[in-house]
Amino acid sequence: MKKEQLGDLIITSQETMYHVAKTLLRSDEDCADAIQDAIVKAFSRIDTLREDAFAKTWLIRILINECYSCMRKQKRVVFLEEFAPAEEVQEQEDYSDLYEAISRLPEEVRLSVILYYMEGYSIREIAQIQDTTESAVKNRLSRARKRLKADLEPELVHG
């Protein structure tokens, strides 16, 4: 793949990259940093891409690794927001019930849900991105559907 082709891929994958980063990281600033780092790394390691057909999967894998790196760095930092009263934090967050329910899912399950339902990746592609088996991805999606249904049904009935 040529650098121009990678640039085009990055431009067409902007929304996907943001959704994947947002799945793993809370703040938009962290998402932007991880995406930027992933883009730099992709350009510097373009020679490691074996087949152009898997370029988007390869790019998303790099992004996920950058998100994990950002998460590891954050564990060493104590944020002042953690000491803010709960009411202030509650006012700052304005997420839909579905987004909140998805955000409560375990990380690997949450990522599978976002990649499958929001980004349209196939189960095979998700398995490659997450370095796991197709049956593991199917199980994660099944568990997610059951948990989301259980979390959201009381709100739908009483809503």
The verdict on residue 102 lying in a domain is: yes
The confidence score (pLDDT) of residue 39 equals 95
* Alpha-carbon distances, residue 43 vs 9, 49, 60, 100, 108 (angstroms): 11, 10, 13, 34, 26
State mean pLDDT over 116-123: 88
Same domain, 61 and 98: no
Same domain, 48 and 117: no
Same domain, 68 and 36: yes
What would the pLDDT profile of 10-28 be if each residue is shown by its tens digit?
Answer: 999 999 999 999 888 878 8
The confidence score (pLDDT) of residue 134 equals 95
- CATH code for the domain of 29: 1.10.1740.10
**Owning domain of residue 29:** 1-80
State mean pLDDT over 71-80: 64
Same domain, 54 and 117: no
- Between 92 and 106, the higher pLDDT residue: 106
Same domain, 30 and 69: yes
The verdict on residue 47 lying in a domain is: yes
Reading the block at residue 135, the tokens are: 């049956």
**Of 108, 99, 106, 102, whose CA–CA distance to 129 is shortest?**
108
| Number of domains within the chain | 2
Same domain, 105 and 75: no
State mean pLDDT over 134-153: 91
Same domain, 5 and 67: yes
The verdict on residue 89 lying in a domain is: no
Put simply, whether the predicted model's pTM sits higher than 0.75 gets the answer no
Percent of the chain with pLDDT over 70: 82
143 CB burial (10 A radius; 0-12, 13-18, 19+): middle
> What type of residue sits at position 89?
V
- CATH code for the domain of 147: 1.10.10.10
- Between 86 and 64, the higher pLDDT residue: 64
